[in-house]
Amino acid sequence: MALLELKQVTKVYQVGTVAVHALRGIDLMVEKNEYVSVMGPSGSGKSTLMNVIGCLDTPTSGTYILDGKTVHDDRIEQSSNGKLSDDDLAFVRNQKIGFVFQTFNLLPRITALHNVELPLIYAGIHKKDRIDMAKEALRKVNLEDRMHHQPNELSGGQRQRVAIARALVNNPSIILADEPTGNLDSKTSREIMQLMDHLHNEGNTIILVTHETDIARHAHRVVHFLDGLIASDELTPKGKG
Ligand code: ADP
Ligand code: ADP
C-alpha cells in the first residue's frame, strides 16, 4: 500500500459568495522513501495540497489515506469515521507529519533543544525521554554543539537545522517542507538541501514545495501544479539515474 494516497481530492474555499476551487480533483500516490518536489505558479494550489497532506485542513471531497489511516473519505458516512474530528486530525498530524517552513517557525525565547522537544510534549512523552530524543534529532542535523543556544544566537542555516530536527524528532511518516530554503543564501541553501538528501538516504519520505528548479532537482520526482490540477508528474534525472 502507498504511504499516501489522494483520490479525486478537491478543496473549495468559500469567500463570501465566491467559491475558490483551489484543488480540482487531485490523484496522487507517494510511496515510502520517495522524494517529491511540488512546483507550480503562485495560486496553483501547492500550499492547499500541503495543508491537506499535513492534516492542517480537510478536503472538500475525495479520499485521503495516510499510512493506512483514512484521514478523509466522503464515500463513508460521517458516523462511521469517514471524516476525522479536529482532535483526531491533530493526533494524526502530531504522529505522522514533520513540518519544515520557509520562516523556520521556532520559538524565540527558548533553546534549540527545547524547540526540538516541543512536539514530544504534545505527544505526551516523558521528560527524560524527551531530552534524549531531542538530542538525538539535533545530532542528526549536526547541531548537538548548539543545543543550548536560542534561535537569535544561530545563523539562518542553523535555525533551519533546528527546525528540521524538530520535524524529525517524532519519527514522522512524512517530512513536508514548504520552501525550506526560501530565506537562505545560496551556499546555505545547498547545505540544507544536502541535509535533506541525507535524510532521504536515511529512509525518510520527503515532499518539498519549491519555486526553484535547482532545488526541485534534488528530488526524484517533480509534480507540477496548474490551476488546482496536476499538470505533470515526472521523474527527475536523479529519479531516473
Ligand atoms: P499556491 O501555494 O500554489 O500559491 P494556494 O494553495 O495558496 O496556491 O492557493 C490556491 C488558491 O486558493 C488561490 O486562488 C488562493 O487564492 C486560494 N486560497 C488559498 N487559501 C485560501 C483561503 N484560506 N481562503 C480562500 N482562498 C484561499
Ligand atoms: P556524502 O557522504 O557524499 O557527504 P551524505 O549523505 O553522507 O553524503 O551527506 C551529505 C551531506 O549531508 C553532508 O555534506 C552533510 O552536510 C550532511 N550530513 C551527513 N551526515 C549528516 C549527519 N549525521 N547529520 C547532519 N548532516 C549530515
What pLDDT does residue 155 have? 97
Predicted confidence pLDDT, tens digits, the chain (241 residues): 899 999 999 999 999 999 999 999 999 999 999 999 999 999 999 999 999 999 999 999 999 999 999 999 987 755 455 677 888 889 899 999 999 999 999 999 999 999 999 999 989 999 999 999 999 999 999 999 999 999 999 999 999 999 999 999 999 999 999 999 999 999 999 999 999 999 999 999 999 999 999 999 999 999 999 999 999 999 999 999 8
Residue whose CA is at the smallest distance from ligand 1 atom 12: 22
What interface predicted TM-score (ipTM) does this complex get?
0.73
Residue 228: closest CA among 2, 15, 19, 17: 19
Could you tell me the three cell numbers for 159?
535555525
Ligand nearest to the CA of 223: 1
The bridge status of strand 35-39 relative to strand 206-209 is parallel
- Who lines ligand 1 at CB under 6 A? 13, 15, 20, 22, 40, 42-48
Residue type, 199: L
Rounded to an integer, what distance in angstroms lies between the CA atom of residue 49 and that of residue 198?
A: 25
**What one-character DSSP code corresponds to residue 219?**
S
Q: Is the pTM of this model over 0.90?
A: no
Residue with cell 490551476: 227
Nearest to 62 by CA among 14, 116, 21: 21
